[in-house]
Amino acid sequence: MDILNTPRDTDIGVHVGRRTIAILSEANRRAEWAKFMSDSSSTQEEIGITKQDLRGALDAVDVWVEANSGAINQALPVVARSGLTNKQKDRLFLQVVQRRFEVA
């Protein structure tokens, strides 16, 4: 499959509970895929799978986040669930994942 020339599409909105979440568009997925490989190249970090398989993994992560965003929201204490904006919840999640990555 020539994944480099897949036509772009728009983000797809999906309702999860009361929140509309958007799966990343093809253009955004492609950009993150290219960035991952560029970052690895900069540090000569060895990657043992093909770039098509890497793209599949990225797509799977995006799908998983989409599928579990409702559960992540439900895991928050009620005060935070109702008091934080969606962007703030996303940033909180991102910071925790980032820190876990840094200390691992």
Partner 1 sequence: MASGDTLLIFTPLHNEPPTSDPATLDLRNNHPVLDFDAATNESAIFSAVMPRSYAGGGLTVSLHYAMSSAISGDIDWDVALERIGDQQLDIDTDSFAAVNSVDNTTVPATSGFVDVVTVIFTDGADMDSIAVGEAFRLKVIRDAAADTATGDAELLRVEVKET
| Subset of 10-29 contacting partner 1 (CB under 8 A) | none
State yes or no: residue 6 binds partner 1 (CB under 8 A): no
- 2 vs 102, which CB is nearer to partner 1? 2
Output the six-digit token pair for 14: 């999906």
State yes or no: residue 4 binds partner 1 (CB under 8 A): yes
Other C-beta atoms lying within 10 Å of the C-beta of residue 21: 19
**C-beta of 4: minimal distance to partner 1 in Å?**
5
Three-state DSSP class for 6? coil
* Alpha carbons 73 and 21: distance in angstroms, whole number: 12
**C-beta of 33: minimal distance to partner 1 in Å?**
7
Q: How buried is 55 (Cβ within 10 angstroms: 0-12 exposed, 13-18 middle, 19+ buried)?
A: buried
| Subset of 51-90 contacting partner 1 (CB under 8 A) | 51-52, 54
State yes or no: residue 37 binds partner 1 (CB under 8 A): yes
- Phi and psi at 17, nearest 5°, equal 65, -125
> Residue numbers of the site for partner 1 (CB under 8 A)?
2, 4-5, 30, 33-34, 37-38, 40-52, 54
